[in-house]
Amino acid sequence: MIRAKLIERIEQISEKNSAVWGKMNIHQMLKHNTYWNGWVLGTDPHTYRQEWLGKIFGKMALKSMIKNEKPFDKNIPTSAQFKVKDTSCDLEFEKAKWILLVKEYERFHNPNFVHDFFGKMSKEQIGILAYKHSDHHLRQFGA
């Protein structure tokens, strides 16, 4: 099961993990992922709207990113709303929160979700994107 394997990888994260690429530290990566997954799942109040550039290129970019099993490239850009400035957190708390969010995808229901670049997405597209996003950051930190 894909979720179980993601959870195992999240559980392996420790203070010893450092970035293989990118500018985030381990704490920022964890907080980024708990915020991002909460946004997708709708666990907190969020405003969902697509950027104008995404209205032009979003569907084409989404199709390209999720068409196969190829992982996301290193150093892909992050929207400003997902950049974490706080460089510290309770590591175990953020890991536990991320794990709970990953488990929530089993019951995914957020009809209001609109990706800021890709726009409206199917449940299957969201699942693939959520997996690839988590995998990207876990690989970024060697997990």
For residue 32, the enclosing domain spans 2-10+21-140
Residue at 103 is within a domain: yes
Backbone angles phi, psi at 2, to 5 degrees: -65, -45
Residue at 16 is within a domain: no
Q: Which residues of the chain have pLDDT under 70?
A: none
- pLDDT at residue number 45: 81
- pLDDT at residue number 78: 86
Residue at 86 is within a domain: yes
pLDDT digits (tens, 9 = 90+) for 7-35: 999 999 999 999 999 999 999 999 999 99
Residue at 60 is within a domain: yes
Residue at 31 is within a domain: yes
Residue at 75 is within a domain: yes
Q: Specify the DSSP element, H or E, that contains 39.
A: helix 26-41
Residue at 105 is within a domain: yes
- pLDDT at residue number 122: 96
> In terms of C-beta density within 10 A (0-12 exposed, 13-18 middle, 19 or more buried), how is residue 31 classed?
buried
Residue at 15 is within a domain: no
- pLDDT at residue number 72: 94
Number of domain units in the chain: 1
